Amino acid sequence: MQLNAMFPTRDIGSDPAKIRDWAQAAEGMGFSHIEVPDHVFGATARDGWKPTYNETDPFHETFTLLAFLAAVTKTIGLTSGVLILPQRQTGVVAKQAAEVDLLSGGRLRLGVGVGWNHVEYEALDAEWSTRGARQAEQIEVMRRLWTEDLVTFKGKFHDLRAVNVVPPPVQRPIPIWFGGSADAVIKRAARIGDGWMPIMAPDAAGEAKLGMLHEHLRAFGRDPATFGLEGWLRMYEADEALWGSYVEGWRRLGAQMVMLYPMYRMAKFEDHIETLRRFKAVAQG
C-alpha cells in the first residue's frame, strides 16, 4: 500500500528553502504523492457559522505550489488534495493542471471536491447551490480539453466553441479523484471519477460507504478492482497506535493508498520531517 504525504500548509511557513527541503525529504523517504490542500480565502466565523479553517490559517496557492514542487522533486507524484473545483473557472483549471502535468513530466493527480465553505464561494462570485452539478460538467469539459485538438461543448454551465489548451498535458487525460463522503459525491465519483479519497475511519460506517461506492461502480458498468481508493487519516493527536489501526483498517478495505492528515499543529520544521518518518515506520511496521 502506498503512503502519501499531506503538505503542511498551515505550519510550513513561507521560506521556499524549507518547502523544498520538506518535499525532498518526503520523496527521499519513498512517499508516493505529496498532496496540497486548497483554500483561496480565509474566513471569520459569522451568523452561527464557524469555519474549519479561519482567517489565521495560511494556505499556499495550490497550482503555484504544485509547479514549485515539480521543479524541486524528480519522481514523487503531485496531487491537489482537494481542489474546490466549482468555485473556479473550468478552462483556467484545465490550463493550470495541464501545465503542472507537463512541467512535472506527467506526475499530476487532480483531486477535486465541492467544499464546505459557502462564504468562500460567495467571495469568489461562485454559485453554492449548483456546485455538484457544475463539478460534474467541469470534469467532462476538462477531459475533453486535455484529450482533443479542438473542443466544442454546450452544457448548462459551459459554452465552448472550437477552443483548446496548448500545450497539452503529458497525461491525456489527467486522472481525477474525488474527495468527500456525501452520498451524491460517492455516486458522482463512481460515475465519472478515477478514484476516491475520503476522510473517514475504516469502521462499519466507512465500510458501508465503500459498499455504496462499489454498488454504484457496478451499476455504471465499472470494475471496483480498477477504481482507486485512498484513505485519509484525519488525526487530532500524534497517536501512533491509532495511526496503525487506521492503516490496517484501510488495508483490509482494499485501499491502494493512505495518507496521514494531522489536524494538530507542529511549530517546528523538524517535527514535520519526523512525523513523516514515524508514519512510514508505523504503516510499514
Closest Cα to residue 115, out of 102, 130, 105? 130
Distance CA 165, CA 145 (A): 6
Give the rounded percent of residues in the chain with a pLDDT score beyond 70. 100
For residue 150, what pLDDT is reported? 98
Q: What is the pLDDT of residues 126-176, one digit of tens each?
A: 999 999 999 999 999 999 999 999 999 999 999 999 999 999 999 999 999
> Is the pLDDT score of 285 beyond 90?
no
Domains belonging to the chain, first-starting first, are 2-284 (3.20.20.30)
Mean pLDDT for all residues in the chain: 97
Q: What is the pLDDT of residues 61-115, one digit of tens each?
A: 999 999 999 999 999 999 999 999 999 999 999 999 999 999 999 999 999 999 9
Closest Cα to residue 177, out of 231, 105, 129? 231
| Mean pLDDT of the region 26-41 | 98
C-alpha cell at 72: 524541486
- Residue 261 binned pLDDT confidence (cut-offs 50, 70, 90): very high
Query: Is 178:189 a contact under the CB 8 Å cutoff?
Result: yes
The stretches of the chain forming alpha helices (DSSP H) are 16-28, 62-72, 90-103, 118-123, 131-147, 183-192, 204-219, 240-252, 269-284
For residue 187, what pLDDT is reported? 98
Q: What is the pTM of this model?
A: 0.97
For residue 232, what pLDDT is reported? 98
> Is the pLDDT score of 245 beyond 90?
yes
